């Protein structure tokens, strides 16, 4: 496990923001009863985010009715864990580390766009991913299984995994068909997902979430045996 004070080669997103010391949750026995809102994610590298940021710039100006997410918050969620009691963190950390060590780095790239639940009545506009999506889905499955064993079962466990990066949210259902169509042929640079992050989400100013990394773990290097 790597605590966020070690920021070597971490990408420039909020997921890599260092904390001053080891998280209190990892040190305590849960006496405070604090509840944290957690998720596990991949932080794409700076170059891939640069491309996506430049691509989104035109649409930010054209569609000010959408709530565009900030680049610093961009990530690819593997598992949303929801509200997790502080006392569960001691069990969660080693489970996630074990899950990471079962998987090699994964080649990915951003491509195309889509919307939930549909482009004509979107609540969320996103960029999709191409590459080794099966390996990514298997990693997400391992993360969810490890979290469940630690008592932090993802509330949406069992739902089909749809890897994406959220570009914008809609205050009211909006038609984003034009954006989705325009980005249909987009294919970004290839990058390697080589670690996972456990992230704490807190509501900040004007209802924008603020993210801080609790810990991160490298994926298995090529040629090494999987952890059991």
Q: Residue 24: which CATH number? A: 3.90.1140.10
- Predicted TM-score of the model (pTM): 0.85
Is residue 129 one of the residues assigned to a domain? yes
**The predicted structure's pLDDT at residue 1:** 62
**Tens digit of each residue's pLDDT (9 = 90 or more) over 33-75:** 688 999 999 999 999 999 999 999 999 999 999 999 999 999 9
Instruction: Report which secondary-structure segment, H or E, holds 46.
Output: helix 46-62
Is residue 166 one of the residues assigned to a domain? yes
Q: Report the alpha-carbon distance of residue 206 to residue 168 in Å, rounded.
A: 15
Going by pLDDT thresholds of 50, 70 and 90, the confidence category of residue 156 is confident
Is residue 198 one of the residues assigned to a domain? yes
Burial of 127 (C-beta count, 10 Å sphere; 0-12/13-18/19+): buried
Find the range with the poorest average confidence among 90-99, 122-131, 214-223.
214-223
Is residue 223 one of the residues assigned to a domain? no
Token pair listed for 111: 């491509």
Backbone torsion region of residue 85, taken as left when φ is above 0, otherwise alpha when ψ lies between -120 and 50, otherwise beta:
beta
Is residue 163 one of the residues assigned to a domain? yes
Backbone torsion region of residue 32, taken as left when φ is above 0, otherwise alpha when ψ lies between -120 and 50, otherwise beta:
alpha
The angle subtended at Cα 178 by Cα 175 and Cα 181, nearest 5°, is 125
How many domains is the chain partitioned into structurally? Answer: 1
**The predicted structure's pLDDT at residue 4:** 57
- Work out the average pLDDT over 101-121: 98
Question: What rounded mean pLDDT belongs to the chain?
Answer: 86
Burial of 61 (C-beta count, 10 Å sphere; 0-12/13-18/19+): exposed
Is residue 180 one of the residues assigned to a domain? yes
Residues paired with 113 in a beta bridge: 127
pLDDT surpassing 70 at residue 205: no
For residue 84, the Cα-to-chain-centroid distance in whole angstroms is 17
């Amino acid at each position: 496990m790597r605590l966020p004070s070690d920021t070597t080669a971490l990408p420039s997103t909020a997921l890599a923001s260092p904390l001053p010391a080891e998280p209190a949750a990892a040190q305590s026995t849960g006496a405070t009863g604090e509840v944290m809102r957690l998720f596990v994610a991949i932080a794409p590298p700076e170059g891939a985010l640069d491309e996506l940021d430049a691509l989104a710039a035109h649409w930010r100006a054209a569609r000010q009715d959408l709530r565009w997410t900030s680049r610093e918050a961009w990530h690819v969620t593997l598992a949303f864990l929801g509200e997790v009691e502080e006392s569960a963190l001691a069990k969660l950390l080693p489970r996630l580390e074990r899950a990471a060590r079962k998987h090699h780095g994964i080649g990915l790239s951003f491509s195309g766009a889509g919307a939930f639940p549909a482009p004509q009545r979107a609540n969320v506009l996103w960029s999709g991913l191409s590459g080794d999506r099966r390996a990514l889905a298997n990693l997400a499955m391992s993360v969810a299984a490890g979290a469940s064993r630690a008592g932090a079962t993802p509330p949406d466990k069992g739902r089909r995994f749809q890897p994406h990066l959220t570009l914008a949210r809609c205050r009211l259902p909006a038609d984003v068909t034009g954006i989705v169509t325009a980005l249909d042929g987009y294919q970004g640079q290839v990058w390697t997902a080589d670690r996972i992050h456990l992230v704490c989400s807190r509501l900040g100013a004007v209802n924008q979430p603020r993210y801080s990394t609790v810990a991160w773990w490298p994926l298995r290097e090529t040629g090494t045996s999987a952890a059991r």
